[in-house]
C-alpha cells in the first residue's frame, strides 16, 4: 500500500475487498485480496457422516462419552442410527478418505448411508474395495477408491 500527498489531496493505493462480520453482519473493508470462492455445490452428506463417525469414535475411545448408547441419548437419535453412522469407521482407510474428500454435489446425492451399509459389513478390505468400485460404477459417483 502506498500513499502520496499533493496540494491538499491524499492518494492511497492498495487491494481491499468487502467482507462481512458473521452471517448477515455489517459490511466492512478488509485489506488484501478476497478469499477464494468455494466450489459450487455442497459437501455430500456421506462425507459429513464420515467425519461425524470419526469424531464420535474418538469421543468414545477417549472416554469423553461412555458408549454408543450415551451418544444416542446426547444426540437424541436411536442407538441403531448411531451404529449405522459409526459403521463407516469399519471401512478401509482409503475408502474413508475417499468419502471425506468426495466432490461437492449440487443436486441429488450420488451415494447414501444406506448404500454403504452393505460394504461396511464386509470384513476384508479387499472385498470392500471391490464392492465400492461396483457401487460407484453403477451410480456413476465418479470417486473410485
Q: How far apart are CA 89 and CA 95, in angstroms?
A: 10
Residue by residue, pLDDT tens for the chain (145 residues) are 455 556 777 777 877 777 777 666 777 777 778 777 777 889 999 999 999 999 999 999 999 999 999 999 999 999 999 999 999 999 999 999 999 999 999 889 989 999 999 999 999 999 999 999 999 998 876 655 5
pLDDT score, position 4: 59
Strand partners, 20: 27
- pTM attached to this predicted model: 0.72
| pLDDT in the model for residue 121 | 96
Determine the pLDDT at residue 25. 72
Backbone angles phi, psi at 19, to 5 degrees: -125, 170
User: Which cell goes with 85?
Assistant: 453412522
Amino acid at each position: 500500500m502506498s500513499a502520496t500527498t499533493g496540494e491538499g489531496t491524499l492518494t492511497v493505493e492498495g487491494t481491499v475487498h468487502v467482507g462481512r462480520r458473521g452471517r448477515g453482519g455489517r459490511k466492512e473493508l478488509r485489506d488484501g485480496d478476497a478469499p477464494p470462492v468455494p466450489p459450487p455445490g455442497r459437501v455430500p452428506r456421506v462425507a459429513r457422516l464420515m467425519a461425524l463417525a470419526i469424531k464420535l469414535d474418538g469421543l468414545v475411545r477417549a472416554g469423553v462419552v461412555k458408549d454408543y448408547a450415551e451418544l444416542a441419548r446426547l444426540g437424541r437419535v436411536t442407538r441403531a442410527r448411531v451404529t449405522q453412522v459409526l459403521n463407516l469407521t469399519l471401512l478401509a482407510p482409503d475408502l474413508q478418505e475417499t468419502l471425506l474428500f468426495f466432490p461437492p454435489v449440487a443436486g441429488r446425492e450420488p451415494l447414501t448411508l444406506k448404500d454403504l451399509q452393505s460394504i461396511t459389513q464386509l470384513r476384508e478390505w479387499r472385498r470392500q474395495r471391490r464392492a465400492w468400485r461396483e457401487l460407484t460404477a453403477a451410480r456413476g459417483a465418479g470417486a473410485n477408491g
